[in-house]
Amino acid sequence: MGIARGQSKLWKPARKTRSLFDRQLASPKDYRLRMSSGWTISDGTYTAVPEDRRTKKNVPYPTYIHQAYRATFGLNTLQLAHNAPITLCAMDVATDHLWKCAPPFIQSEVNVHPPNGPALWSQDESHQEAIYQETERQTEKRGKDVYGEFKTKPWGIWPLWVEDQWGSDYVLLVWYADDTDASANSFDTVTMAALYDPRRYPLGDKDGRHHPIIERKERLEGQVQKFFNRAGFDTSRLVFKEGKISPMPLDETTSGERCFAAVKELLECIMNYYLDIAQGAQQDFSKGFWNLSQWVNPYQYRIEMTGINAWVLMATFDYNARIAVECVEPDIKAEVVVDGQRRLIRPADLAGPSTPPDVAADNYLLYPSLESDPKSA
């Protein structure tokens, strides 16, 4: 399920491996970086090492190899195109960084869980049951509740990757849970939850407005409650509230960028919530959690996510490495898959359109386009 970061399984070699001391020592030439034709711009900050002089000493090796692979994959996928879907790995690296940058008292109150999907959130219940059975088998095997990470703190923020007839999108789940006298320090009594979904109905109402997808919301609420029950939460007091988020235009696939922006904004909202409590103020959650910003520029956040993945990659090398800028030749065609359709990308596509998006309406619905608005005729 990808519930916790950094978990590793015990691995036993199938055959006996040779000791490192039995292997032939490599010569400096074996560490030469093989490069294709190209040119380099340097500002003189670092002394360039000629290709035929590079050895093991000046070729860095990552201290955290697992994180290096994850950040490399996340960075490469984010650079494909502005409208390519964001991978779970890239989202995990970026949102985990947001949590690590939060104040310590927020880190002690909030968990930002690794993104998960689509099996648990699909319409095929057989996929869901298979995941639950495997998870519970791991619980029996390890002798430890693999759902326990979800109960360590009162606040939970969880990006869900959802695939259904409406599209393939990130939907952000947020919940609050209490602990009890019987289970102190185990926040297993979930009281409130909200789903932030930027997708809207493809067809407008009589006024041309595109509303949130009720069918998806109700289905996901049922599946989330089922997850809470299987994970050992007490859902007797659970209430699902509305969560407003800037809507995604019908011709975009930017739910990932909007999900990342929502995680960032929610961490700030929770921080301000605790700061207000410290000053004696009270927060009314009777109508739900916070309504998020009505304006999100998804390409701004995609660039931020790219920067985070690049920074994490450099950090895994103890800052002994730098990120190179590579040239995408204009005549070379590159393909990405968006919502099951192949699209060609060009160098200008990497940063997204230069025109910023519109501000969402007060009711967070999409405005009708000029072509479809009968009043504009």
Q: In this structure, is residue 372 part of a structural domain?
A: yes
Q: Can you tell me the distance from the alpha carbon of 89 to that of 77, in angstroms, rounded to the nearest whole number?
A: 9
The answer to whether residue 248 scores a pLDDT higher than 90 is: yes
Average pLDDT of the segment spanning 139-163:
90
Whether 23 maps to a domain, the answer reads no
Whether 221 maps to a domain, the answer reads yes
Question: Does a structural domain hold residue 9?
Answer: no
**Between these two residues, 219 and 141, which has the higher pLDDT value?**
219
Let me know if 245 is exposed, middle or buried by CB neighbors in 10 A (0-12, 13-18, 19+).
buried
- What confidence tens digit (pLDDT) does each residue in 56-86 have? 666 677 777 888 889 989 998 888 777 778 9
Residue 205 lies in a domain: yes
Per-residue pLDDT, averaged over 281-289, amounts to 80
Whether 101 maps to a domain, the answer reads yes
What is the per-residue pLDDT across 335-360, written as a single tens digit (0 to 9) for each?
Answer: 777 666 777 776 666 677 778 888 99
The C-alpha angle 191, 192, 197, rounded to 5 degrees, equals 155
Task: For residues 372 and 250, give the distance between their C-alpha atoms in angstroms, rounded to a whole number.
Answer: 13
Mean pLDDT of the chain: 81
Q: Would you place residue 162 in the very low, low, confident or very high pLDDT band (cuts 50, 70, 90)?
A: very high
Higher-confidence residue of 228 and 330: namely 228
pTM of the complete model: 0.82
Q: What is the pLDDT of residue 345?
A: 73
Identify the CATH number of the domain in which residue 113 sits.
3.40.395.10
Range of the domain at 144: 65-376
Domain presence at residue 5: no
In the three-class reduction of DSSP (H, G, I as helix; E, B as strand; rest coil), residue 102 is classed as coil
Q: Domain for residue 358, yes or no?
A: yes
110-112 vs 155-164, strand pairing mode: parallel
How high is the pLDDT of residue 67?
Answer: 87
Structural domains in the chain (count): 1
Q: pLDDT > 70: what percent of the chain?
A: 77
